[in-house]
């Protein structure tokens, strides 16, 4: 079972990279896509979903790209996940059985609910700042240098 879609994984990682930059500093989606091994157009489409909730902004031109509109401490992981993946993960049966509930529970219903609630609580409490502090700038720099050499 995978908690985040591939698109959400790309976006979260791209936001960690942006989170290491000053608020408002733009980075082209194509530059963010290389260390993620993501198609630039796909990452750009995913990031554009975060414009309306004002998590990222974008600007065109030579110094254009995407940038964070808020401090990393103001962006919760759940805010990103809900925009990119929705919240169906937190409302559905572990086995994907339609109609699973208190009246007709699946074998995992009673144990999955509390686990799912803990995951939701963690996503609500974890900020982009928390994620950025867990990833060193050196790791990002090395990954970007490696992928530039590999994909150039």
Q: Domains in the chain, start-ordered, CATH in brackets?
A: 6-151 (1.10.10.10)
pLDDT at residue 149, rounded to an integer: 46
| Separation CA 151–CA 7 (nearest Å) | 20
pLDDT at residue 108, rounded to an integer: 87
List Cβ neighbours of 11 (8 Å cut-off, separation of 6 or more): 43, 46, 47, 50, 80, 84
| Separation CA 152–CA 37 (nearest Å) | 12
pLDDT at residue 16, rounded to an integer: 93
pTM, rounded to two decimals: 0.83
pLDDT at residue 137, rounded to an integer: 77
Report the half-sphere exposure of 78 (CA within 13 A, side-chain side). 14
For tokens 């791209």, the residue is 14
For tokens 């985040």, the residue is 4
Question: What is residue 118's three-state secondary structure?
Answer: helix
Calculate the CA 73 to chain-centre distance: 15
Cα dihedral 76, 8, 59, 130 sign: positive
Counting as low any pLDDT under 50, the low residues of the chain are: 146-152
Q: Which of 106, 123, 130 is nearest to 8 (CA)?
A: 123
């Amino acid at each position: 079972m995978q908690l985040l879609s591939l698109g959400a994984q790309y976006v979260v990682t791209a936001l960690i990279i942006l989170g290491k930059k000053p608020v408002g500093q733009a980075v082209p989606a194509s530059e963010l896509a290389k260390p993620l091994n993501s198609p630039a157009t796909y990452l750009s489409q995913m990031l554009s979903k975060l414009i309306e909730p004002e998590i990222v902004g974008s600007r065109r031109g030579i110094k254009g790209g995407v940038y964070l509109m808020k401090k990393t401490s103001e962006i919760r992981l759940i805010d990103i996940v809900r925009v990119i993946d929705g919240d169906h993960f937190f409302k559905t049966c572990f086995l994907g059985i339609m109609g699973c509930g208190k009246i007709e529970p699946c074998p995992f219903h009673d144990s999955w609910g509390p686990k799912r609630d803990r995951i939701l609580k963690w996503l609500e409490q974890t900020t982009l700042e928390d994620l950025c502090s867990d990833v060193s700038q050196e790791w990002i720099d090395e990954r970007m240098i490696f992928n530039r050499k590999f994909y150039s």
